[in-house]
Every structure is written in C-alpha cells, then in structure tokens.
Structure 1
Amino acid sequence: MGITVGFDLDMTLIDPRPGMVAAMNALGVESGLSLDGEHFAANLGPPLDDILRGFEAPEERIPGLVDRFRALYPDLVVPSTVALPGAAEALKAVRAAGGRTLVVTGKYGPNARLHVEALGLEVDELVGELWSTQKAVALKEHDARAYVGDHLGDVRGARAAGALAVGVTTGPCTREELLAEGADVVFGSLTQFPEWFARAL
C-alpha cells in the first residue's frame, strides 16, 4: 500500500481569497468592528480567533464572531473559491501510486469539507481546526510521510510530525522563508508536485 500525503487547504489546494474578503468585511459591517477583509485574505493560515484579536476585537465577543463567520462562510466563500493550479493533479498522483490523501487545515472542518465537495477534490481524510505544530497530531495519527503547505506554520507542522515538509509559494510566504523554516523542497505551484512525487517517493 502507498504512503499517505497530507495537504494544507487554503492557498495550497484552493484559493478562497475573494470570498474571504467578502465574509470578513460582512462580519465587520454586522458587528460594527474594523475588520479588514483584504488584509485577512492576504495572510490566510492562522486561526480565526487569533486574526480577530489582531483586529482588536474584544475578547468576550470573539466566540460569537467566530460562530457568525462560520455561518456566513458557505454562501459567501464556497461559491467563489477555485482550485489552485495542479491541485487536482497532485491529489490524483498520490492516489494513482496507491497512496492516501489527507487534508489538515486550520479551517473549521465542515466548511473545509464543503470546499472539497464543491470542487470534486479526491481527498480520503480531512481534519480541521489544527494550526502549525498542532497539525502534527493528525499527520502522525494518519502516518503521513509528507505534508504540503504554503505557510511557515505548515512547515512547522510537518517537521513536528517527522514528515517531509513540502512548500508551495502560492500563499503569503516566499521560497526563501519556507526553506529557512526547514522545508525540504519548495515549488512555485502544485503543478510541479506529480513529477517530484513520482521521483522522490
């Protein structure tokens, strides 16, 4: 049986930025808070509650704001989200080799699942609400031998799990930043993944 490869979701497999801008700005209007959708969408990765703290949302309001964002999400984010170049092919390359595909994301699991289903991505397992080194929990549980992501937090998660850290520069982090964090290999996009996977793993 082939190996399990983990993938991050936002800006690794999918580009949800237009909807993220809309959802965060809508939440700002509803809540009366200064929430910057453009900044949020340009820096996807960290947990939503941390993002809201960065926008100086009152701590006591954060649980309610998170719930409301999650409620807005299916209508505002999912329909406008597209798969990134090479995403479907990368997943198919793993499965064609007899492997399993695992998505580990900081995103709320049910909303992450909506993306996978809407875009027809071939994912065997999905685990949500894990960020940075917390991702190692799911990667170890599913015996993932590699983890692919666009953020420094994804590299940290892979390394904490003892998995190969594969970076892509489709998110906010540069090749140099990902390599400095400990990525084993960095691609400009997932279009480069299938050839590397066939050769390396």
Structure 2
Amino acid sequence: MIGRRSRRFAACALSIVAAITVLGPAGARAEDGLPGSDAARIAQGFRIAPVRLRLRGLDAVLVGLGSYIVNAQGGCNDCHTNPPYAPGHNPFQGQPKQFNAARHLAGGTSFGPNLVSPNLTPDGRGLPAGLTLQQFIRVIRTGHDPDNPNRLLQVMPWPVYQGMTDRDLRAIYEYLRAIPSRPGNRS
C-alpha cells in the first residue's frame, strides 16, 4: 500500500512530468535561448528546495523554476534568511552547504539602523511579503519600497534583477507562494 507521503510525491512528480511534456520535447522556450533549459532548471529547482513546498493550486512548473532562480541564481537566502545557513553548514567556513530551513526567507538580516531585510514568506492571505504579483514586480522593476513608494530600496540588488523576464519574476513569486509562512519582519 502506498503511503500518503508517497502518493503526494508521485502526484507532484506526475504534475512536473506533465508540465514539462507540455513545454515540448526539449522543454525549450524561445525566451530561454537554450534547448531543454526549462526542464533542467525546473527539476533542479525541486531538488534544491530547502523547505517542503506546498503545490496545491499553484503552477508546479513556475514553482520549480522559481526555486531554481531563488536558490541557485538569485542568492535571496543570503539576505532574506537570518542566519542564512544551518549550524555547521556554512560553506564560507568550509562546511557542507545547508540553508537554514527553519528561517528560510523570513528576513531579519540587519544592514544598519532601520534597515532589516523583509520577510518574503506568504502572509495570512498567502501573499509573499504581503504583496500581490503586480506589487512584487513593481518592487523588483523600480526598487521602490512597497511601504514607502518615495523611498528606494538601498540594499536589495533590484537594479540587477529588474532585467529578469516577466516569466522569471512570476516564477519567483510562485515559488514564494509555495514555501512555508514564517513569523518575522514584514516591513
């Protein structure tokens, strides 16, 4: 008899296979420029996700791609997780890397007086950092603080991320919707 956890894993795997099949035989998209890159990045995103993902009602393809962008490319954990690595697993100290899953993307890293990284995990409404997709994209594209539109984010490397495709930003947002909510700094 298949256990509950095994059934969920099988359902998730089937969803991913179906989604990759829909992307085409090589999983390629014109905007990627490389054949098969979507399928490989999506699969890797699921392999490296440091927390259990909630996929119900979400686009599994975007969640996997978002995990890849957040956890393999974007370095979001470095600032939005405090501390970023689990005890004994800090690669900067020659230890095997393991993200701090208990505080994954819950913010709290201080960059000086009145400057603390925000919590990116879903709020009570399921919105990452309490932002709608449109608000999230605006923050990344313009660097304007969502709580004070006249203030630019000073530490967030939004000038680098603003060149991401809309699809990449949607994927990051979808991944953030899939991670567990954590208490922490929401401003």
TMscore range, shorter length: under 0.3
Higher relative CO (Cα under 8 Å, sequence separation at least 6) belongs to: 1
| TM-score in terms of structure 2 length | 0.28
Structure with the higher fraction of residues in strand conformation? 1
Q: Which structure: greater helix fraction? A: 1
